[in-house]
């Protein structure tokens, strides 16, 4: 129902200020409510972005293949070899920090700042359970994501969209089947964060808190997810949930302080310092790694590029906390990889997988909403009063 200007508009504005999440939740089709000019602009930008991404992805994949052909990794090079050597030394009885920093020092890896040394969580799990068992855990987490997301999308999607979402999770989460996934910190963290988002309910948020805590223990770069969640909880005035998140952040800070202490304890004066994180490589540094680490990479570049970029648009078409959170979370990591990541930080993209890929399912809906808004005459639709 279209409201008249005046009281209804003021009520909408006040509701928006009271809770941005609740305001978004009241928009059954967020993109359909854009002004006509804005909808046209988004359609044009989407077309241009798709054309650009096709070219950028083709160039990224070609450069990656050329680099692999002209400078193949030696037998003892690469992050996985580093982690495997560290694990072997731990099996022989050496402590994690002594083994990890000795290996990083010996093979030209920095140990400054302390975040260049991974937290010991995955190494301890691999030592205790073994890599084959961790692969099974990763596959089970992926299957749990499929089940949780099918349920989470009920009431805001068609059955065919939920079926497609399950398929998208497999396409974008295929690295769960990788034999060395137990040494892929970002993939495990991404699976946990994706599941945390799917399972979150206002009345039952503690399972998501536990999953987010596990992701933080594995990779500190899960922190933006938790901070965004905290902003949502505060915005909705869910004080118990906010307190739970505050306690999690306090525990995380304490854990990182302990980690920094042990890294410093085993550091030597001549250890290398990181080159920093000022890559400024642009959006290609997000879509390129996303293509090469998922089944999207099996497609030609002209198709893979748009498929890697369009999920963001799809999430913008999903109402409620779920859609808005996924949109902001994905966009945030796009910025991180575009601005801060170096070429060898490509694995950061795994932190939003496989959930990011579900957005591709809602692209037809997003385009339909944008076209409806662009073709509509008169003022944009106001929020329904009922």
pLDDT of residue 225 exceeding 90: yes
* Interval 66-92: pLDDT, tens: 887 787 777 667 999 999 999 999 999
Packed helices 185-199 and 131-152: angle between N→C axes, nearest 10 degrees: 30
Packed helices 206-218 and 185-199: angle between N→C axes, nearest 10 degrees: 170
Question: How buried is 231 (Cβ within 10 angstroms: 0-12 exposed, 13-18 middle, 19+ buried)?
Answer: middle
3-state secondary structure of 204: strand
pLDDT of residue 16 exceeding 50: no
> b/e for 171-200, b at 16 or more Cβ within 10 A?
bbbbbbeeebbbbbbbbbbbbbbbbbbbbb
Looking at residue 11, what is its pLDDT? 45
pLDDT of residue 109 exceeding 80: yes
Looking at residue 295, what is its pLDDT? 97
Identify any residues that bridge with 61 across adjacent strands, giving them in sequence order.
Answer: none
Mean pLDDT of 19-41: 83
Looking at residue 2, what is its pLDDT? 35
pLDDT confidence band for 101 (50 / 70 / 90): very high
Closest listed residue to residue 130, CA positions, set 161, 88, 160, 158: 88
Q: Which residues contact 165 (CB under 8 A, 6 or more apart)?
A: 149, 150, 153, 157, 358, 361
Q: Which residues contact 132 (CB under 8 A, 6 or more apart)?
A: 179
Identify any residues that bridge with 201 across adjacent strands, giving them in sequence order.
Answer: 204
Closest listed residue to residue 43, CA positions, set 377, 368, 382, 379: 368
Q: Which residues contact 92 (CB under 8 A, 6 or more apart)?
A: none
Looking at residue 313, what is its pLDDT? 98
Report the distance separating Cα 337 and Cα 9, nearest Å.
38
3-state secondary structure of 2: coil
What the block records as the tokens of 163 is 């079926």
Looking at residue 13, what is its pLDDT? 46
Looking at residue 88, what is its pLDDT? 98
Number of residues assigned to the chain: 386
Average pLDDT over the chain, rounded to whole? Answer: 91
- If phi > 0 it is left, if psi is from -120 to 50 it is alpha, else beta; for residue 130 that is left
pLDDT of residue 384 exceeding 60: no
Listed range (58-72, 267-281, 347-361) with the worst mean pLDDT:
58-72
Looking at residue 34, what is its pLDDT? 92
Peptide bond into 354 cis (omega under 30): yes
∠145-306-339 over CA atoms, to 5°? 85
Report the distance separating Cα 308 and Cα 323, nearest Å.
18
* Interval 164-223: pLDDT, tens: 999 999 999 999 999 999 999 999 999 999 999 999 999 999 999 999 999 999 999 999
Looking at residue 381, what is its pLDDT? 55
- Reduce the secondary structure of 307-339 to three states and give it as a string: HHHCHHHHHHCCCHHHHHHHHHHHHHHHHHHHH
DSSP 44-62: HHHHHHHHHHHHHHHHHHH
Looking at residue 361, what is its pLDDT? 98
């Amino acid at each position: 129902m279209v409201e008249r200007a005046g009281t209804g508009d003021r009520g909408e504005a006040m509701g928006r200020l009271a809770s941005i999440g609740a305001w978004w939740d009241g928009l059954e089709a967020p993109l359909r409510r854009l002004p006509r000019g804005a909808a046209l602009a988004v359609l044009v930008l989407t077309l241009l972005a798709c054309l650009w991404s096709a070219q950028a992805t083709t160039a990224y994949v070609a450069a990656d293949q050329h680099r692999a052909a002209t400078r193949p990794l030696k037998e003892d090079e690469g992050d996985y070899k580093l982690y495997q050597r560290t694990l072997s030394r731990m099996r022989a009885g050496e402590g994690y920090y002594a083994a990890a920093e000795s290996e990083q020092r010996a093979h030209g890896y920095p140990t400054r700042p302390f975040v260049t040394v991974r937290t010991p969580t995955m190494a301890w799990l691999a030592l205790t359970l073994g890599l084959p068992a961790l692969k099974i855990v990763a596959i089970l987490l992926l299957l749990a994501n499929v089940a949780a997301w099918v349920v989470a999308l009920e009431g805001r999607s068609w059955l065919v969209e939920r079926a497609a979402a399950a398929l998208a999770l497999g396409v974008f989460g295929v690295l769960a089947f990788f034999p060395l996934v137990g040494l892929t910190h970002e993939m495990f963290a991404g699976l946990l964060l994706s599941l945390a988002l799917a399972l979150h309910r206002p009345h039952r948020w503690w399972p998501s808190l536990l999953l987010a805590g596990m992701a933080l223990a594995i990779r500190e770069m899960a922190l933006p997810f938790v901070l965004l969640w905290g902003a949502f909880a505060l915005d909705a005035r869910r004080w118990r949930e906010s307190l739970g998140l505050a306690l999690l952040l306090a525990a995380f800070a304490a854990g990182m302080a302990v980690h920094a202490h042990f890294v410093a304890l085993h550091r030597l004066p001549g250890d290398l310092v990181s080159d920093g994180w000022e890559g400024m490589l642009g959006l290609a540094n997000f879509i390129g790694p996303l293509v090469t680490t998922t089944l999207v990479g099996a497609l030609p570049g002209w198709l893979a590029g748009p498929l890697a970029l369009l999920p963001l648009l799809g999430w913008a078409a999903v109402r409620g906390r779920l859609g808005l959170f996924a949109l902001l979370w994905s966009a945030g990591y796009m910025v991180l990889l575009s601005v801060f990541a170096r070429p060898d930080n490509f694995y950061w993209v795994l932190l939003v997988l496989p959930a990011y890929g579900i957005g591709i399912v809602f692209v037809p809906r997003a385009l339909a909403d944008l076209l409806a808004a662009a073709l509509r005459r008169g003022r944009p639709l106001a929020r329904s009063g009922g």
